Chain A
C-alpha cells in the first residue's frame, strides 16, 4: 500500500451534489429532481487508486463524470491539483483538461466511428499542444507502444478492432496529454474476462510508469480488490463506506457493504455451499424520491427506529475506515458529519500505513 504520510491530496471532493431536474405537466415545470449524486465527499491522494463500487444505478458513473465536470454540478466543491473547478466556465475547463482525463465504459461507442486511430489519439494534441505533424505522429506511436497497440494500426478505424483493443485506444487517448488524474468509468465492464485482466494490468503498469492517480469505478468487487488502494462504496447517490482495501474486504462495517461483499462468488464450491449470503429484500428506491432518514433504511437487515428519521453521520470505526451508519453512533456519538469529513484526510495522513 502507498505511504500516505508524504502523499499529497490530488483530488478533493466536498459535498458534491448532482441533481437532474424532472420536468412534467403541460407547461413542463420542474417537479422534482433525480438525486444521482447527493452530498458526496472523498479525497484521492497522488499516485493512489480509489475504487468506487456500488450496484447499477447508484450514481457511480455520474459521480465520475461530475468530478471531471462533464456535467454542470448542482452543488459542492471539486478541487483537482489545487484548482477549484466546480463552477469553472467551459473555456477554463478546456485549459484544465490536460490534467484530468477519463476512460469510458463502452469502448465502441466512445470512439468517433469516422476518425482513424491516429486522429482519435492525436486530436487532443491539436487542441492543447503546438506539436508539428511529424512530432504528433511520433507521440501517437509512443502512446500506442505504451498501451501495446501495433504501430501499423494507426490509420485504421475503431470498428476494425476488438473490444480489448478499442479500450486500449481509449486509454491511449486519455494518456495523450500526460494527465495526472484519470477517471476509469467501468473500463472493463464491456470486455471478456480474459481481456479484463489484460486491461487492468495495463492500467497498473501505466500507473507505475507515469505516476497516475485513478478513480476506478466498477461493480466488479474482485477487480476493485485487485487494483484499488482504498475503496468507496456507494448506495443511492451517497457514499456509505470508505476504507483501505484490506480493511474493507476483511471487516466490512456498513450493512450494505457486508451484503455487497457476501454476493461475491466463492471459487471453492464446498465453501460456497456453506457461505452465508446476506440477501437484501426489495428494490433500490428511486433516486428521485429517496426515503427519509438513511437511504438504505428500506432494505437494511439491521434497521433501527432512528434510521427512518435521521440521516446518519459519518464515523471512523477503524483508522481510515469511515462509515455512514447509525449502528456506530453509540460508540462514536461525539463526532458529527462535518467533523468527520474534515478529519478524514488528516487522520489518514497520520494513521496511514
Chain B
C-alpha cells in the first residue's frame, strides 16, 4: 500500500504539470485584457506600459515558467520563512494578484476560513443527514419513509442552488426576517450573542448546500445498502442467529460503506471550489466568490493559482479515495 501511494504521488507530478500548462494556455488564449477596466482616458502607450509592467510583454513559455517558479519555489519558501523566521525567500518574486497587487497566497489564506466554515460544514451536515436516511430507506424499501426520502432527494438534486438559495432568502430573510440575507465576514465571535448571530447567518447557506449534498449521498447510500441487503452473506448472518442490529449495522453497513466512503472523499474538493454560486447568492466572500471576481477582472495569476489548487485537490482526493478503498475492502490490494 505504501509503495503504491508513493508511486501514485510520483505519477501525480507530471499529471499536475500538464494540467497547469493546459490551464495557463487556456487563460492565455481566452479573450480579455487586464487593462480593459481602466478608465478610457488613459492613452494607449501608457496602457501598453502597464501591460508590460504586468509581464505580458514576454512570450508565453517565459511567463509560464516564471509562474511555475513563483508557485512551486517562492511560495513554499515564503511559507517556510514565516513559520521558522528564516530568510530563504528574500528577494524572490511571489505570485501577485493583478487586481490588488498583493500576493495571491495571502488573499487565499484570508478567504479560506469562510469557505471552510460554510461549505465544509454543509458537507459534514449533509453527509451526517444522508447516511441514516440512506440506511433507513434501503432497510424499509418502498415504505412511506423511502418514498418521501426519494422525493426530497429528487428535489434537492434537481433544483439548482441559486434557486433554493434565493427562495430561502425571500421566505426567511425578507418575509419572516429570521435570518440575515448577507453573510458578514467581519463578524467576530466573542460572546454568546455573537455566536448565535454567527449561527443565524450561516444557517441558510449551510442548509442550501447540505440539502444538495445529502440528496446525492443518501441515494448512493441507499443503493449500496440495497445491493448488500440482497447478498447471501446477510442470510448467513441471520441463520447464525445474529440480532437484526448486528446484521444491518455490522454486516450490511460495513460492506455498504465501501463505495459511499469513496464518493464522500471524491466530493471533498468541491468544498473548496464548487460552492461558487451559493457563495455568490449569500455574499459569503470565500474562495468561490474570489474566483468569480478574479475571472471578471482578468486577474490571470489569481485564476491560474486557484484553478491549479483545485486541480491538486482533485488529484489528491482521488488518490485518497483509492487508498481508502484498498483499506476498507480486503479483496483489493495494491502491490
* Residues of chain A at the chain B interface (Cβ within 8 Å): 65, 68, 70, 90, 93-98, 101-102, 104-106, 109-114, 123-124, 127-128, 157, 159, 170, 173, 177
Decide if B255 touches A113 in the complex (CB within 8 Å). Answer: yes
Residue of A nearest to B255 (CB): A114
Question: Which residues on B sit within 8 Å (CB–CB) of A98?
Answer: 241
Decide if A159 touches B239 in the complex (CB within 8 Å). Answer: no
Q: A104-B232, A109-B232 are in contact. Are A114 and B241 (CB under 8 A)?
A: no
Interface size classification for chain B: 20 to 34
| A97 to B242 Cα, complex, angstroms | 9
Q: A127-B246, A157-B331, A159-B331 are in contact. Are A110 and B235 (CB under 8 A)?
A: yes
* Interface status of B265 (Cβ within 8 A of chain A): no
Residue of A nearest to B239 (CB): A102
What 16 new A-B contacts, CB under 8 Å, besides A109-B232, A111-B233? A70-B238, A94-B243, A96-B241, A101-B239, A104-B235, A104-B239, A106-B232, A111-B236, A112-B236, A113-B329, A114-B254, A114-B255, A127-B243, A157-B331, A173-B240, A177-B241
Question: Which residues on A sit within 8 Å (CB–CB) of B331?
Answer: 113, 157, 159
Within 8 A of A (CB), among B211-270: 231-233, 235-244, 246, 251, 254-255
Decide if A113 touches B242 in the complex (CB within 8 Å). Answer: no
Question: Which residues on B sit within 8 Å (CB–CB) of A124?
Answer: 240-242
User: Which of A90, A97, A114, A157 contacts B240 (CB under 8 A)?
Assistant: A97
Q: Chain B interface secondary structure, helix, strand, loop or mixed?
A: helix
Decide if B244 touches A90 in the complex (CB within 8 Å). Answer: yes
| A177 to B242 Cα, complex, angstroms | 12
* Residues of chain B at the chain A interface (Cβ within 8 Å): 231-233, 235-244, 246, 251, 254-255, 328-331
User: Which of A68, A70, A114 contacts B330 (CB under 8 A)?
Assistant: A114
Q: A113-B255, A113-B330, A159-B331 are in contact. Are A97 and B239 (CB under 8 A)?
A: yes
| A113 to B238 Cα, complex, angstroms | 16
Question: Which residues on A sit within 8 Å (CB–CB) of B237?
Answer: 112, 123
Question: Which residues on B sit within 8 Å (CB–CB) of A173?
Answer: 236, 240
Residue of A nearest to B238 (CB): A70
A123 CB, min distance to chain B CBs, angstroms: 6
Question: Which residues on A sit within 8 Å (CB–CB) of B251?
Answer: 112
| A110 to B328 Cα, complex, angstroms | 19
Residue of A nearest to B243 (CB): A94
A120 CB, min distance to chain B CBs, angstroms: 8
Question: Which residues on B sit within 8 Å (CB–CB) of A127?
Answer: 240-243, 246
